[in-house]
Amino acid sequence: MSRIASVDVRDVRFPTSLELDGSDAVNVDPDYSASYVTVTTSDGETGYGLVFTCGRGNEIICAAMESYGALLTGRETDALLDDLGAASRLLIHDSQLRWLGPEKGVQQMACGGVLNALWDLKARRAGKPLWLLLAEMSPEELVAAVDFTHLRNALTEDEALDVLRRGAAGKAERIAELEANGYTAYTTTPGWLGYSDDKLVRLSREAVSDGFGMIKLKVGGDLEEDRHRMRLAREAVGPDIRIGIDANQRWEVGEAIEWVGALAEFEPYWIEEPTSTDDILGHADIRRGVAPVKVATGEAVANRIVFKQLLQAGAIDVMQIDSTRVAGTNENIANVLLAAKFGVPVCPHAGGVGLCELVQHFSFFDYAAVSGSMEDRAIEFVDHLHEHFTDPVRIERGRYLAPSRPGIGAEMHAASVDAWEFPGGSGWAEVGERAAVTGRSSS
């Protein structure tokens, strides 16, 4: 009988801070990193998961993954994979570990990474990419995978079944359409704060010629600078391309309303993370204050309970799920169901390390089997670090092509993991002294 033989965790970091890729008003010098987990069965099967971080602290997620992994080791593989809802409850509601969240931050992320390695294993066994596995699960199976604890005053199991049964109509046609044409993307590649004007303009124009209908700019450092960059970007892309702006939680509530107002002449499509993503009531105030600019958030939303309230409070126009912030595929199914119930589009957050590879599956699943709509929906795309993955995203004419290989997309090349394992990998040796930016003794 197959059992979980090991849960192996590696600390993988890339020295992206050297290039200011990924810089914004809050994340000024990220070293894009992954806490990388491999679940191996006694039969030698493997499933892969990861959690994205910004460098320092990757070791903490790794420690938490080891603690959750220990709860799985020795268990029967079939029993786990046949009921991933139970597997999720086993980890999330562990009577002692639960105190450290509950259901937030390091714990939720680490749980999600480990659970996703199980989903990867399940999808590989089925020979399907995750999105297709999910799309072909029955409404009952999907509902059984979700933890409805603390959701039921907004979404009950029965309501979720209704959503999924409605979503089943036309599913086969939509799956065929996705396999033929993929899913809309938007790109953040031009918009990092650390880029020069020339680079901003050049990358913005390239985005349009590459077929993207929307780009995104980081804002929130300096208002005059933001006005300058926003004008350059608008001139570069013309009036018909959407420009999202993203403040990475930089502002107070009133400040957000004023700042967005001062950028309104350049017609931003949405303001993303205007303030703390814990601030549900603040987002509701901001949404009222910046309309018709839309409010988007989610990459730092801790769990389904916070998303529930953002929807109940009418605080967001766009739900930006993230593939490694919450407790894995299970909780993102919950998030997609919540969005469908409230009629809010899901536009996933991506970028970082592996986030594009993972999160695309939820939009494909959403279109195939839940909302059935691609209107006002797009998956973020950033052209970073895909070369390290065995099944990298494929983008054509501003669209994600449908993932076709079995699994969730988290597997990295062994050579990449070896080279960029921190701190001992050969890549870090080459980076040499400049690697000090990530060291624990850094200030």
Which residue ranges make up the site for a second copy (CB under 8 A)? Answer: 26-31, 53-57, 59-61, 63-64, 67, 70-71, 73-75, 90, 94-109, 149-150, 152-153, 249, 252-254, 275-276, 278-282, 285, 300, 302-303, 305-306, 308-309, 312-313, 438, 440-443
If the CB atoms of residues 124 and 384 are measured against a second copy, the closer one turns out to be: 384
Angle between helical axes of 223-237 and 253-263 (0-180°, round to 10): 40
The two three-digit tokens of residue 151, written as one number: 């959701």
Q: Which residues are catalytic?
A: 218, 349
Closest by CA position to 214, among listed 176, 245, 235, 192: 245
Output the smallest distance, CB 402 to a second copy, in A.
Answer: 30
If the CB atoms of residues 280 and 356 are measured against a second copy, the closer one turns out to be: 280
Cβ-based neighbour number of residue 276 at 10 Å: 16
- Vertex 277 angle, CA 276 and 282, to 5°: 70
Amino acid at site 192: W
Q: How far apart are CA 73 and CA 55, in angstroms?
A: 28
- Residues in Cβ contact with 145 at an 8 Å cutoff, skipping those fewer than 6 apart: 84, 85, 88, 137, 329, 330, 333
Closest by CA position to 215, among listed 183, 180, 240, 182: 240
> What is the chain's percent helix, strand, coil content, to nearest 5?
45, 15, 35
DSSP state letters, 98-165: GGG-SS-HHHHHHHHHHHHHHHHHHHHHHTSBHHHHHHHS-HHHHHHHS--TTTTTT--HHHHHHHHH
If the CB atoms of residues 51 and 175 are measured against a second copy, the closer one turns out to be: 51
Output the smallest distance, CB 172 to a second copy, in A.
Answer: 36
Q: Look at strands 33-41 and 4-13 and give their pairing.
A: antiparallel
If the CB atoms of residues 152 and 413 are measured against a second copy, the closer one turns out to be: 152
Cα Rg for the chain, rounded, in angstroms? 21
If the CB atoms of residues 400 and 420 are measured against a second copy, the closer one turns out to be: 420
Output the smallest distance, CB 250 to a second copy, in A.
Answer: 9
Output the smallest distance, CB 50 to a second copy, in A.
Answer: 14
Angle between helical axes of 328-342 and 157-167 (0-180°, round to 10): 80
Output the smallest distance, CB 302 to a second copy, in A.
Answer: 6
Output the smallest distance, CB 93 to a second copy, in A.
Answer: 8
If the CB atoms of residues 105 and 427 are measured against a second copy, the closer one turns out to be: 105
